[in-house]
Amino acid sequence: MRTIIRNATIVNEGRTFVGSVVIEDEMIQSVLTDDDSTQTYENEIDATGLYLFPGVIDDHVHFREPGLTHKADIASESRTAAAGGVTSYMDMPNTIPQTTDLEQLNHKFNIARNKSRVNYSFYFGATNDNAELLPRLDARRIPGVKVFMGSSTGNMLVDNETTLHKLFRTSPLLIMAHCEDTNIINQNIKQFQKKYKGQNDFPVRYHSRIRSAEACYRSSSLAVQLAKDTGARLHVAHVSSAMELPLFENKPLEEKRITAEAVIAHLVFSNEDYDRLGTKIKCNPAIKTPEDRQALRNALTNGIIDVVATDHAPHLLNEKEGGALKAASGMPMIQFSLISMLEMVDEGVMPIERVPQLMSHNPATLFHIERRGYIRPGYYADLVLVEPNANWEVISGRYFTKCGWTPMDERTFKWRVRRTIVNGTTAYSDGIVVDGVRGKELCFNQ
């Protein structure tokens, strides 16, 4: 089937221009600046007044399946992704059971093949004793190996330097690292317990002092040094502090072997929001100071931050009860990532052309994703149309995550996703997720 999206304001590869995109079945056939009205199409989409972006590629999500499906699953969260203009995702291994052997990895691919509304792939989880499996991983199917250098449970917490050095030395794939130093965190907890006379939980506003910038820096600097020593490709997840930013270089992405990701929560919120939103914005690494947030925002345009993702991590509200220690860490953000970035454009944080660079082009380049992330002829038609002056309020019934809440509740957005197209097919349109649409497994040319 031939489809044309007419008269959109296209934002792609550093340019913003009015044009039309022709789709032939799953693929982009052509990008037109001078629409040829003599051609006929089975489907025409009038995008006058709308912005057209390449679909967002979110390299960092927790869709909770298998084992934690009471709060989220691949079907529900991929539906939520489609509503946010996210056409591809890469899911983390800390499920139940953990994705730390080939059987569990293949099981997740099978689930997604049947359930995922958008395109998908899955990280392999490193442990203290599975390094021998790394050379057996299929680099065409898997984006990378996730290493939790702090802040995990069970055997996925890898903080022994000998083990880490072996993982960095032997991994044939990119290593994505969660970096927080467990010893510093534990020392900070002991200091608070001493101050509060053995109390076993503290107000959530202290979360950023327990999981401190120093804890992040200590672990991130270790990861960067290991990558330099071994030659490993390293991608540091959810950089959250100004202290960490000098660890990364400002040079073309294609020349980097060490890269940095920021996530929406650390770009939108600061520790001043704890009093208003409480544990709804508790995540690991912690939301930090307004100065840290500003430094991260600055890094979106100076070449230090390479990718913006969500770390979408749903929990039920009753799991968010408690304080800095007891409340679950994580929040559902994937439906609001693209429009949050566009709101930052309106605030003057970055030019609009940086949005697809950070959310689509760079993830595709960094992970060597085959024929996605750009609006180009011969690429898959993963596209999102966004309305610039919608002025809509987030209320219950307007978000799709299974956990049933979002820290964006009652926020008014100027921008709104109107249509999401996955592999040439509309997966979401004007508040409705289209039944029956299924994404494809991502393919990597590593």
Read off the pLDDT of residues 373-418 as tens digits, 9 standing for 90 and up. Answer: 999 999 999 999 999 999 999 998 889 999 999 999 999 999 999 9
Residue 214 has pLDDT above 70, yes or no: yes
Residues 176, 229 share a domain: yes
- Last residue of a domain, which of 319, 348, 366? 366
Residues 392, 362 share a domain: no
Contact between residue 58 and residue 309 where contact means Cβ atoms under 8 Å apart: yes
Q: Give Cα separations from 390 to 2, 339, 386, 420 (angstroms).
A: 29, 11, 9, 16
**Contacts of 5 by beta carbon, 8 Å cutoff, 6+ apart:** 20, 21, 23, 45, 47, 52, 383, 385
Q: Give Cα separations from 231 to 128, 164, 168, 175, 310 (angstroms).
A: 20, 13, 8, 11, 27
pLDDT, tens digit, 9 for 90 and up, residues 250-286: 999 999 999 999 999 999 999 999 999 999 999 999 9
Contact between residue 411 and residue 82 where contact means Cβ atoms under 8 Å apart: no
**Is residue 331 assigned to a domain?**
yes
Contact between residue 139 and residue 446 where contact means Cβ atoms under 8 Å apart: yes
Q: Whose structure tokens read 């503290």?
A: 202
> 127: domain CATH number?
3.20.20.140
**Is residue 121 assigned to a domain?**
yes
- Last residue of a domain, which of 315, 347, 366? 366
Residues 59, 204 share a domain: yes
**Is residue 398 assigned to a domain?**
yes
Residue 36 has pLDDT above 80, yes or no: no
The average pLDDT across 308-332 equals 98
Residues 319, 308, 27, 39, CA torsion sign: positive
**Is residue 109 assigned to a domain?**
yes
Residues 233, 163 share a domain: yes
- Last residue of a domain, which of 311, 332, 366? 366
Contact between residue 115 and residue 78 where contact means Cβ atoms under 8 Å apart: yes
**Is residue 169 assigned to a domain?**
yes
List the domain range (segments joined by +) for residue 405: 2-52+374-433
Q: Whose structure tokens read 């509304």?
A: 117
pLDDT, tens digit, 9 for 90 and up, residues 346-363: 999 999 999 999 999 999
CA 286 distance to own-chain centroid: 16
**Is residue 165 assigned to a domain?**
yes
**DSSP line for 285-326:** SPP--HHHHHHHHHHTTTTS--EEE--B----GGGG-SSTTT
Token pair of 332, please?
Answer: 């559902």
What is d(CA 91, CA 416) in angstroms, rounded to the nearest whole number? 25
**Is residue 444 assigned to a domain?**
no
Residues 72, 15 share a domain: no
Q: Which comes out higher in pLDDT, residue 398 or 113?
A: 113
Q: Give Cα separations from 267 to 116, 214, 244, 299 (angstroms).
A: 28, 19, 15, 10
Number of structural domains the chain divides into: 2
